[in-house]
Copies of this chain bind each other. A is one copy, B any other.
């Protein structure tokens, strides 16, 4: 449980930083301000999750530490080359993470589940991303091909990092496997879950005007 809250908390802090980096690439001041708003929303989630760790009498820094290296590895392997790649990463990455955590939220105690669901509630920022990406593709259709490849790479890197984290952190894998008095996820269910994640990803890529 602590591991789950900690990986989420560090994920949000790290999303804040990456969106700040994206803001530097924004073509206009209005775009910069919009991305900054997205960054600040992620930091708000970080505050909630950190507070939950503190309430559980856990040192948030210590709890987050094991997830710093894998998340930084993910970000290093998926550094956006420009503004549009940054937008697609923010949208696709955040959505995949949201789908995944909402799936596992059903296996958590009610308090933690509600917090996780609150953190990943749609903030409405995706509308901004979808508009910008569709406009860029309309202006230059070649952009669509490049961003479609980029979206596939993001999905691949996200899955491989998630597997690494799950393999290293028994507690997280245990959450999925279940325990005494708590139903887990069997292999069939896990397979279905990944199918659902992939389907949702495909729908989102289509919303952006991209082939998944």
Contact = CB atoms under 8 A, between A and B. Distances in A.
Contacts of A43: 36, 40
Interface string A45-56: 010001000000
A50 B29 CA distance: 11
A3 interface: no
A13 interface: yes
Contacts of A61: 28-30
Interface stretch (A17-25, A113-121, A147-155, A161-169): A17-25
Contacts of A29: 10, 13, 60-61, 64-65, 68
A16 interface: yes
B13 A24 contact: no
A36 B29 CA distance: 20
A145 B127 CA distance: 50
Given A28-B61, A40-B40, A61-B28, A46 B20 contact: no
A46 B60 contact: no
B32 A23 contact: no
A73 interface: no
Contacts of A64: 29
Given A17-B23, A29-B68, 9 more contacts: A10-B29, A13-B32, A13-B36, A17-B20, A17-B24, A20-B20, A29-B61, A40-B40, A40-B43
